[in-house]
Each structure stands twice: as structure tokens, then as C-alpha cells.
Amino acid sequence: MSKSLIFLLGRSGAGKTTTLDMLIETKGFSPLVSYTTRKKRENEKEGYDYFFISVKEFNAMNFKAKFVVNSKWKYGVSFDYENIQDNLVFQAISLNYLKSVAEEAISAGYEVKIVFLDIDKEERIKRLRERGETEESISKRIEIEKNEGDYDLSIFKDHNLQKINTSKMSVKEVVDKIVGG
């Protein structure tokens, strides 16, 4: 069986985390876990969401696939650790990080599939409210993402790219569409 890596990309509220969790729980995927220098949030699990390390540890690891946010937090992925699995799923935090990780994954022998989860604006706002986001937080997210513009997915023209609008789909339907089940 070949090694595969599914990247999940999309705006907040599109269902990336829920889809990732279901791929892991029902389809036998394992998370590709990033290392980060930022502080752990209350709901995050060490070794599942991220490996939380110091800047000194991060710099010593010499990541080939890495990303820096606001010149403050660093994120990196390694395909060299011994427990890495053959069927992985990864939630991308930016297009540049995804591209960097995808290139490294291909070098490590993985077949890469990029899944862009899209969502209608009204459904997105509804989902963000349901998960407890404040109106101020929702407005800020929408404004930031509006200023960022549309995702330029053309940089992945050489990869297996799938777009799914999750607005009227259950998570199971989204997962089945991704894995072809």
C-alpha cells in the first residue's frame, strides 16, 4: 500500500478540524503533527494538535518544512521521526506552509491530495456562532480573510486537488467524498 497524505485547507468554520477528527476515527488516518513554539491553548492536546517546543529546540531541529507567523511563532513538520504513519491527514494553517509540507511529503514518498473545504458565508457565520465565537471575533475573522482574498489554489496544479462545499453536507458525507467511500 502506498503512503498518502491528505491536506485539509479552508476558512474557519468550513469543518477542517471535524473532518480531520473523523478521518482519524473512522478511516484509519493518523495526524501529521506540527511542532510549534507558541503556547498551548486550553483545548489542545500535546502530540495530537501540536508538539509544543521552545524556540531553542525548534532551531536545533532544522526543519525543511516550516512556517513563521508574525515573526513570532514558528511551525515545522518532520517526516524523520520513527513513529510516522503511512496514511496521514494534515490541517494547513496557510498556503505557503502547505506548499512547503507538500514538497517535503513528496520527497518522503507520500502521495499528496489537497482538499479545499469551502463554505457559504451564512453557514460559516452560523457554525462559528455554534462553536462559541463572539460576534467581534467572527467579524475580525471575516475581515481578515476578506483582506487576504481568495485562496490561490493554482500553485497546486501539479497535485491532486479536490474542492468540496461543506455548507449542506454532513461530516460523514465530506469524509466519504474525500476517501471515495
- The reported pLDDT for the residue numbered 82 is 59
Residue 106 is part of which domain span?
3-179
Domain with 149 in it: what CATH number?
Answer: 3.40.50.300
Distance CA 86, CA 19 (A): 19
Distance CA 28, CA 89 (A): 10
Strands (E) located in 48-172: 50-52, 65-69, 73-77, 87-91, 110-118, 160-165
Is the Cβ–Cβ distance between 29 and 23 less than 8 Å?
yes
- The reported pLDDT for the residue numbered 12 is 81
Distance CA 69, CA 76 (A): 11
Strands (E) located in 49-133: 50-52, 65-69, 73-77, 87-91, 110-118
Phi then psi for residue 17, to 5 deg, are: -65, -45
- The reported pLDDT for the residue numbered 145 is 73
Distance CA 83, CA 86 (A): 10
**Three cell numbers at 40?**
498551548
Distance CA 94, CA 80 (A): 22
- The reported pLDDT for the residue numbered 181 is 58
- The reported pLDDT for the residue numbered 55 is 92
How many independent structural domains does the chain possess?
Answer: 1
- The reported pLDDT for the residue numbered 149 is 58
- The reported pLDDT for the residue numbered 100 is 86
Q: Could you list the pLDDT tens digit for every one of the 181 residues in the chain?
A: 488 999 998 888 888 889 999 999 999 999 998 999 999 988 889 988 899 999 999 999 888 888 787 678 899 988 876 567 889 888 887 777 888 888 889 888 999 999 989 888 889 899 889 988 899 988 888 887 776 656 667 666 666 888 899 999 999 999 999 998 5
- The reported pLDDT for the residue numbered 43 is 84
Is the Cβ–Cβ distance between 17 and 10 less than 8 Å?
no
- The reported pLDDT for the residue numbered 26 is 94
